[in-house]
A = this chain, B = another copy of it.
Amino acid sequence: MITVLAGGVGGGRFLQGLVQVLPQREVTVISNTGDDLEMFGLHVSPDIDIVTYHLAGLSPDEQGWGLAGDTFHALEALGRFGHPTWFHLGDRDLATNLHRTVLLRRGQTLSQATAEIARAFGLEVTILPMTDDRVRTRVVTDEGELDFQDYMVQRQADARVRGVQYEGVLEAKPAPGVIEAIMEAEGVVLAPSNPIASIGPILAVPGVRGALVQTKARVAAVSPIVGGAVIKGPADKMLSGMGMEVSAWQVGWLYEDFLDCLVIDHADAGQERRIAGLGLDVVVTDTIMKDRERKAALARTVMDAIRREAK
């Protein structure tokens, strides 16, 4: 059993590789829910859906979010009623969110609703929200405190970041199975997701970081920072805004207390010794998941790193 902590697109792409290398039913995903939001009265879970759609093979490759070929007729019509339309929910994507909201209103937990939706998409991967409780990632910027999607999608990440808060996280409990998935795994992988906005909220759920420290499983992370830049999303702006380096080393530093191995790109081979200085194994490979083959190759490299005997 392999457990993957994942945000959105980077997580989804990594998982597309992993399920080429492992049977789906041996994979558990712990998904960030810190950028969940209420939109048109619906409970929207962007990261869970991105992961689900990627695993179902329904994601548009370039864009990363939503369903390939989706239309936006309901959204346009909602705009005419004065609703904000900056969060691009397609018509079929809306159906997922309507369904989730119906299940939650019937009294299901987010875990139960997530499992039911994953099954409806034919997945055998176990997708767990990090928590069934309400956690909201708030980005502290020069323009005030913003919800994560507001910061990233509506403002296109152009506000200067000063810090991040995970609202509600201290009261949150890990969703059922989250701690077990870390403690009982053969290996744990932190997908190449935003360390502040995607992995950060998961680590902040009480008990999760402790489990990562204690687990006998090897813990590997794939750096989302390549050559001092980010492949997708605002991780670079968030790291630098918070006074940190935009580097693979910084990613290793953030996870240093529980990480065994950091997987970095050839572009960052020069940082290998510095990262090793954090007490981490370093694997240098091609981390740019451009196509199906490279996704599988990265997953294979990560699995090799995990299956190396524990230090």
- Residues of A at the B interface (CB closer than 8 Å) are 40-42, 70-71, 73-78, 80-83, 90-92, 94-96, 98-99, 101-102, 105, 117, 120
Contacts and interface: CB of A to CB of B under 8 A. Distances in A.
A40 B98 contact: yes
Given A41-B105, A73-B70, A73-B73, A81 B94 contact: no
A90 B101 CA distance: 19
Given A71-B73, A78-B98, 19 more contacts: A40-B99, A40-B102, A41-B98, A70-B73, A73-B91, A73-B92, A74-B91, A74-B92, A74-B94, A74-B98, A76-B92, A77-B95, A78-B95, A81-B95, A81-B96, A81-B117, A82-B120, A83-B99, A94-B94
How many copies of this protein are present in the complex?
A: 2
A77 B96 contact: yes
A284 to B, nearest CB: 42
Contacts of A83: 99, 102
Nearest to A121: B80
Contact of A78 (B42, B73, B99, B105): B99
A102 B96 CA distance: 18
A231 B177 CA distance: 59
A120 B80 contact: yes
A81 B40 contact: no
Nearest to A97: B74
A254 to B, nearest CB: 38
Contacts of A101: 41
Contact of A81 (B42, B77, B82, B120): B120
Contacts of A80: 95, 120
A117 B71 CA distance: 23
A83 B70 CA distance: 19
A42 B90 CA distance: 18
Contacts of A120: 80-82
Contacts of A98: 40-42, 74, 78
Nearest to A71: B73
Contacts of A78: 95, 98-99
